[in-house]
Structure 1
Amino acid sequence: MTDGASTNRTFANMLFTGNPINTNWVFQDIYFHQHSMCFIQDIMHVFKKIRNNIESSKLKNKTGPGRYLLLNERCIVWEHWEECFKFNFQSGFSVHNKLSEEHINLTPSSKMRNELAIQVLNKDMLYLMKTYQRTLQNPENLASSIELLENTSQLVDIFSTINQPIASLHDKKFETLDNVNKFFLSWENDVDKSIMHVSSKNLITSETRTDINSSIVGFVSLCKLFLTGQNCINPGYLNSDIIENLFGQQRGLRNGMNTNPTLAQYGPANTAIILGQCTVSNKSNSSNRASFFSATTPCPLNTTRNKSQRSKRRGIRL
């Protein structure tokens, strides 16, 4: 599992002899050919990429016509989300309780936070946009944005809920994932075949499209390999939040925001993270969803250092 960095894409090309889509993102272990492995893009990074593609989709920019997404001959632009945000607080009773200015006016820092991307692509956002659509004189303007949200909200529901394990290949979630994957493939084919529009301006980026396919098809392939006997898999935990949380603590809690700690710094900091620090870092983009490690003590050992965090202490597990 990786994010969409260029180095990781190069690594993926080394693992597959041809197009990985043709092999459903499954490759053979080069040391043990009877062992199959799956290459899966981190779905949380995919959500951020989809949101970023929408955020950069505008009918107009400072220099003239903008780059905008087009689905079924209707535009998908960030202005639709901005209008819904204003409508959300218009009556004093919000439809989407978690929507805030931070979700709409993005900064380089907020673009990295998983939860902000999830909350503008989930069912709450879908319900808000449908509610706003009913107040418009021309509701068809939002039809394509709503269709996109209908698909992204299903992905969010599957991969962001930690209490819905899958124990059988007959689970209805696989049908949902197949339909979502077909939606993105159909969207790509429609724009590619269009004479009037081009994928570079009217479609999400090719990297994002590939990552969506990897996340969905790769996960299904993993389930086909893994779901035998009494096994089960929880899609809500299929992400790299735990690793990013560890790195966030390494950089922010012990080493003075040092992005490249030495070996002498890294080892003792790991011990401090495991035994002496809260296991959740607010400095990583995984927020407070990632939880790992366990010690017999219910709170940090170094109490003098963490007096200010006394109210936030919580049990931890390994």
Structure 2
Amino acid sequence: MPELAGGTGPIIEVEGLIKRFPVSKNLFRKPTGFIHAVDDVSLTLARGESLGVVGESGCGKTTIGKLLVKLLDPDEGRIRVRFPASSNVDEGTEMREFRRHAQMIFQDPYESMNPRRTIYDIVSEPLAVQKIGSVMDRVERVSETLTSVGLTPAADFLFRHPHELSGGQRQRVAIARALVIRPRFVVADEPTSMLDVSSRTGIMLLMQQLARDLGIAYLYVTHDLAVARYMCDRIAVMYLGKVVELAETEELLRNPLHPYTKALLSAVPVPDPGHRREPPNIRGDLTLTVNPPDRCRFL
């Protein structure tokens, strides 16, 4: 993952990204096929921009996010970044420097936290790993971040454990952990999925404010097109590992071109019990996820 030269242009540039997972009948046999989780995906992300990735479960949205933060390595393709990072981020200090500027908010706060650690330990760990500030500085930074995500008063949460919090509170802790070191790029995997409607707006406003103030770029993975419309400058629609449509948010919602995008929009509920609309005209069968044919997957 080499660093982009210069100070202008996209903060992240992806070209021809491919990730496949082998499929075999048992552990000791050679793979009989490959799941094409991400297949020839190219995109760019500017500083302070929010790019939404939408699509059905299993289409490769989260896999793209994990590739961009180096939790997975691509099989093919190139990822170039413009925030501080060495041309080789696979070793020691280079990887630590990369992690300083790239974070991920995981979808499931139950699985992404150590139940034995306190909330302070969980949120302050990025600061400790990056050796940012003294112990007192970290307490202050953690308290400020917890307050900003709506966990107030922060002192009441610092030394609790995850099992003492509700699902929504855990999700806020996960967001605080990702934002506490003020990264340049954040992969947000359904960050508001476990929050009630009244709380979602506050979290989304916070993320937008940080994008404006700190230039944070977001890759926003979501199933909710309403959230994508609110949060994202552009939307990429994925189907079986492929980006089938990418456009400015309002343009894509107003004038979808791909039949799969039209099908997604037709599934959005309308708050009017008397409203009727024509079902999308979809022909053909579902494409296999293992070794799919070399053509449009949505046929």
Normalised to the residue count of structure 1, the TM-score between the two structures is 0.30
Normalised to the residue count of structure 2, the TM-score between the two structures is 0.31
Structure with greater helix percent? 1
Q: Which of the pair has more CA radius of gyration?
A: 1
